Chains A and B, each alone.
Chain A
Amino acid sequence: MTDIISAQDLVKTFGRNRAVDGVSFAVGEGEIFGFLGPNGAGKTTTTRMLTGVIPPDSGTATVLGHDIRKKPVLAKQGFGVVPETSNAYTDLSAWQNMMLMGELYGLPRRLAEKRASDLLVTVGLLGNKEQKVQAYSKGMKQRLILAMALVHDPKVLFLDEPTGGLDVQSTQMILSLLRDKNREGMTIFLTTHNMEEANRLCHRVAIIRHGKIVAIDAPEKLKMAIDRVHRIEVSFDRGVPGEALGEVSGVIAVNRIGDKYRLDVLSRDTAIRSLVAFAASNNLQIVTLNTLAPTLDDAFLRLTQEGGS
C-alpha cells in the first residue's frame, strides 16, 4: 500500500511545552486513519503541521509525495481540511464560500458551480445556499465546511473533531459521507475524541499521549492487545454457587451480576470449553454465554494513562 501521508519525527514546541515530540507514522492509500488522544496530547498541533498551517520545529511531513514545507502549494492542492473550529466566512453566503474555495483550488467556474451544487445537496444546505453563514446553526456550519473541503474532490481529507458537539442527524450525515468518500478511494485522516466513531469508521488508529505516539494498530487489535485478562458473562437455568465456578479451569475471578456471572479468564477458549463441560457434568443448561471484549475506550484509557501524567 502506497503511503499517502507520512510524518517523520515531527517536533513542535510552544514556549517550554513540547506539544509534539518526535511523532512518526504513515497512512496508506484508501485508509481511514484515526488520530486519538486526550485534550492537549498534540493531536491538533500534529494535524496543523501535516496540513501546512504551522511549520514543525523539526521533522518532515509529506502528503501525496510532496513535502509540506518545501512544496506546500502542490501538497495542499491534493487535500481538503475540516478544522476543529468552523471557519467559513460568516459574512459570505454558503454559495459564496463554496465559490471562493473553488477559486482558491483553481477550479474552472462551471466545474466549481456543479460540484458546489452537488455537495450542498448532499449536506442538505442547497435551500440555504444564499443565506449568510452567520445565521447557520453549528451543525449547518460544520456540514458547510465539510462541503467546502470537498469542492476540489481531494484525494486526502483531514478532519479535526468533525462531529464535536453536533446533533445526531448532522453527525450521521457527516459519517455517512465520509464512508462514501472512502469507498470512492479517498484517504481520510480523522482526529477525534469519540472512541465509538473511531471504532466504527477507522481502519487503523494512532493514540498520542504527551506529544508521543503510544500505539498504532487496527482498533480490534488494539483492544485485544491491552489486556491479557478477558471477561465472559454466563448464566444458567438455575443458580450455581460462585465457588464452584471459581474452580472451573481457566477462571481466575467470579462476580455475580444479577442472574449472570462475570468471569475473569486467562483464555477464552479454555474457559468456554471448561464451562460447557461444567454445565454438562452438573446437569445445567447454559442460558446465555457472552465474551466481553475490551472497548476502544478501555484501550484508550489504558494507553493514555500508562506511566501517569
Chain B
Amino acid sequence: MNPESLPEQARRAWAVAKKDIRIYYLKGPVLIFGVFMPVFLFLAFYMGGRDLPLAFLIPGLVGMTLFFSATAVSPAIFPWEGSAKTLERLAACPISIEAIVLGDMIASALFGIGITLITVLIGVGVGLPVLHVDILFIALFLGACCFSALGTLLAVPPTNVPSNIMMLSSLLKFPLVFISGIFVPLAEMPRWGLPLAAISPLTYFCDLARYCFSGAHYFPVTLDIGLLALFAVVLSIATMYFHRKTMPRRL
C-alpha cells in the first residue's frame, strides 16, 4: 500500500466524508433546515401575487434546495473541528489536506443531492413530470460538486468561530439566489442583471433544472453543463489550494 497514492487518499477522503455525514449531516435540525429553508422562500414567491407558473417555480425550488443544502454545513466544518481540536487529529494522520477537503466536499454533495431529490419528488407530486431524467442527474451531480466546493471555500478564512463563517456565508449565498434567475426569469432580467447572473453557477443549474422539468431554457444545455463543470473544477481547485495555505494558521 502506498499511502500517498491517489486511490488510497481517495479512500481516506471517503472516511472523512462518512465521519462528516454521521457527525454533522444526519442531525434533525440540519435535515429540517435543508428542506424548510427553500420551501419557505418558494412559498413566499408563490404566494406573492406574481402569478409565476409552477413549471417556472419548481425548478427554482430545486436549485435553491441544492444550493442551500450543499452549502448549509460545509462552511462550518473546518471552524468546528478547529475549535474542538479534532482538526489537529486529522492533521496528524496520513491524509493530505486536499483529501480532507475532498472528504468534506463529498459529504456536502451527498447531503445536497439527497435533500434535493425530496424536492424533485415534491415537484413530481404536484404534477410536474421530469422530462429529461438523465440531464437532471448530470445537473444534480455537477451542481452538488460545484456548491459543495463553494461551501468549503467559504471556510477558508482561518477562524475557529463558526458564527463568523456563517455570517460570511449568508452574505454571499442570499445575493446569489436573487441574481441567478430563480425568481426572475433570465429573459426578463434587466440588462445589468444578466452579467451578474452569468457569474453565478446557480444560474446554469437552474437553467438546466428548468429544461428538465419544462423543456425551456435560456442558455444552450451543453453550455450550461460545460460551465457548471468548469465552475466545479475551478472552485474545487481553489478551495483545496486556499485551505492548504490557511490550515496551519487554524491549528
Contacts and interface: CB of A to CB of B under 8 A. Distances in A.
Contact of A101 (B8, B14, B85, B93): B93
A106 B92 contact: no
A199 interface: no
Contact of A104 (B85, B94, B248): B94
B96 A73 contact: yes
B246 to A, nearest CB: 12
Interface in A36-76: 48, 51-55, 71-74, 76
A76 B94 contact: yes
A106 B3 contact: yes
Contacts of B132: none
B248 A54 contact: yes
Contacts, number: 78
A246 B19 CA distance: 72
Interface string B1-37: 1011000110110111011001100000000000000
Given A73-B3, A74-B4, A52 B85 contact: no
Contacts of B16: 104
B94 A106 contact: yes
A82 to B, nearest CB: 10
B78 to A, nearest CB: 15
Contacts of B22: 91-92, 96
Nearest to A78: B94
Interface residues of B, number: 28
Contact of B95 (A88, A90, A104): A104
Given A52-B92, A76-B93, A106-B11, A83 B85 contact: yes
A211 B101 CA distance: 33
A104 B10 CA distance: 10
B89 A87 contact: yes
B20 to A, nearest CB: 10
Given A85-B85, A106-B1, A76 B19 contact: no
B91 interface: yes
Contacts of B18: 100, 103
A105 B92 CA distance: 11
DSSP majority for the A interface?
Answer: loop
B23 A104 contact: no
B251 A103 contact: no
B189 interface: no
B30 to A, nearest CB: 12
B19 A89 contact: yes
A76 B92 contact: yes
A52 B92 CA distance: 6
Contacts of A106: 1, 3, 8, 11-12, 94
Interface in A5-56: 48, 51-55
A205 interface: no
Nearest to B92: A81
Q: Choose among A53, A85, A90, A92 the residue with the greatest number of B CB atoms under 10 Å from its CB.
A: A53
A53 B251 contact: yes
Nearest to B95: A104
B93 A105 contact: yes
A131 interface: no
Contact of A73 (B19, B84, B94, B251): B94
B92 A83 contact: yes
A103 B17 CA distance: 11
A103 B22 CA distance: 15
B248 A55 contact: yes
A113 to B, nearest CB: 15
Interface string B113-138: 00000000000000000000000000
Contacts of A90: 84
Contact of A52 (B1, B19, B89, B91): B91
Nearest to B100: A104
B91 A104 contact: no
Nearest to A80: B92
Contacts of B251: 48, 53-54
B164 interface: no
A73 B91 CA distance: 10
Contacts of B14: 103
22 contacts: A48-B251, A53-B251, A55-B248, A72-B96, A73-B94, A74-B3, A76-B93, A83-B89, A83-B92, A85-B85, A85-B88, A87-B86, A92-B19, A92-B22, A100-B15, A100-B19, A103-B11, A103-B12, A103-B15, A104-B94, A104-B95, A106-B1
Interface of B: 1, 3-4, 8-9, 11-12, 14-16, 18-19, 22-23, 84-86, 88-96, 248, 251
Given A74-B3, A100-B18, A100-B19, 10 more contacts: A74-B94, A76-B92, A76-B94, A77-B94, A87-B88, A91-B23, A100-B15, A103-B11, A105-B93, A106-B8
